[in-house]
Amino acid sequence: MLATTNTDRTTRKFKERGFYDSQSHNKYNLLPFRFFRLNKQKEILVNEVGDYLIVLTGTAEKIISRRINKDRDIELYADLIAGFFISEEKIPPLLDILSTRYRTKKSFLDHFTALHIFVISLRCEHTCHYCQVSRVSEDKNSFDMKLSHIDKGINMMMRSPNPHVTMEFQGGEALLAFDSIVYAIANAKEQAIIYDKKVTYVICTNLAPLTDEMLRFCKENNVLISTSLDGPEFIHNQNRHKKGRDSYQLAINGIKKSREVLGHDQVSALLTTSTLSLDYADEIVEEYIAQGFNSIFLRPISPFGFAVRNERKNKYDTNLFLNFYKKALNKIIEYNLNGNFFREDYATIILKKILTPFPVGYVDLQSPAGMINNVIVFNYDGKVYATDEARMLAEMKDYTFQIGDLDTSRYEDIFYGDKALQFSEHWSNESLPGCSECAFQAYCGADPVLNHATQGDMTGYRPTSVFCQKNMEIIRYLFELMDNDKRIVKVFTNWIG
């Protein structure tokens, strides 16, 4: 605070301590909180555990300068006390409750790595222009994961302290190596009994090679199917190219057959937003609703693999994606306000962080980051990576995030080695420049891999970060929607269950 001299000249000298201790009826202690202007009229205050207040612009400055009056600003003062923004005592009497809630938000760290991705093959019969894994043609069997590497990956998975782990098979096209999947699940089921683990099995597939035999196996072993659907036929076929231009019909037929055998909720689909997609937000949402899905995950293209080689089809400004996202989200909200249920998954993840005291398991919105802490990738060649995006970088000859080899590395080397220690310096947004003071820190995460890929630095630079630009605007927009229309709050509450 600037002081003034007898001639009213402003100086940089602090006022005497008594000035700060003698605010009479406005005497209260500031607790840690952050603030952000939502729009011209409103700003948001967020405390250390993500509790928030939406207030008139200028309120944060009044709080900090201690111009909130207990007798005059009765309701606001009470909200600030109850929300741990201020305290009448230097040590709040309910500080233990606040610390318990903070530990709860970070409880995803308690059990360590849950998701174990097995890149069972790089072979694929599609030639998607945005492919992030640099697939190879379907006849190159040398790009299948060796059985010995499957065994070693399973042994690593069983050593996780987490009692509930997920074994996800990716490609390429995972079903082209279906015999390896059968072998892997049989091995994992035997080991799960020994190690007292509950294992969830997921196959990521475009569904084109799907057979009745495969579905019977998935039914018998309670395997989940995760597929891709980019919207209406003309978008899907252009994005996910295949000889015969029938990738859409194969996907739709595969979804239908899988639901008939496995059950409706055992099949999910994922959207990738290409340049073509940006003009068809409504049509893409309508396609998902028409196909019987109860949600859609609106996500941009990640800058990895083949996706960065075709800029015309895959590269677009983040603001264009945000416009697409908002248009699609608004349509989804309107659909819900008309009495239907359909949710947007990315918003739902953020809303769980905003509206509940519990953590989320989504890797990209965790701090410390989900890399290693929640996900690990065993590549087809036995190399081990910190995230799925990390192995995509390796396909581009960047091995920064390779953390081991199944043939030579011990569990301790991979999960607690020098590489993991190096990453840990960059994976907590509480300590990152630009994040440490951000009002939305509690709802966001850290992504050292994306920072490295887009900015050449694991810490990243927030003013030009696409991760930051996307998340800050989506979070801001969600708050604005809730503040403007209480009916939307009810919709969002329904989404988070």
Report the percent of the chain where pLDDT is more than 90: 80
Per-residue CA distances from 95 to 52, 108, 326 (Å): 17, 22, 38
pLDDT of 144: 94
- How many Å apart are CA 139 and CA 120, to the nearest integer? 14
Closest CA to 318 of 108, 473, 483, 460: 473
Helix (H) or strand (E) run with residue 321 in it: helix 318-337
- Spatial contact of 53 and 68, defined as CB atoms under 8 Å apart: no
Strands 3-4 and 10-11: antiparallel
Distance of CA 479 to the CA centre of its chain: 18
- Exposure b/e, 87-117, CB count within 10 A at least 16 = b: beeeebeeeeebeebbeebeebeeebbbbbb
- How many Å apart are CA 412 and CA 414, to the nearest integer? 5
- How many Å apart are CA 115 and CA 94, to the nearest integer? 36
Structural domain spans, the chain: 23-105, 108-330+375-429
Q: Which residues pair with 343 in a beta bridge?
A: 295
Q: Say which CATH topology domain 108-330+375-429 has.
A: TIM Barrel (3.20.20)
Mean pLDDT of the chain: 90
pLDDT of 314: 52
Q: In degrees rounded to 5, what are phi and psi of residue 493?
A: -65, -35
pLDDT of 497: 86
Q: Which residues of the chain have pLDDT under 70?
A: 1-12, 15-26, 126-141, 242-244, 303-315
Report the sign of the C-alpha dihedral through residues 340, 344, 345, 348, in that order: negative
pLDDT of 2: 43
- How many Å apart are CA 175 and CA 280, to the nearest integer? 30
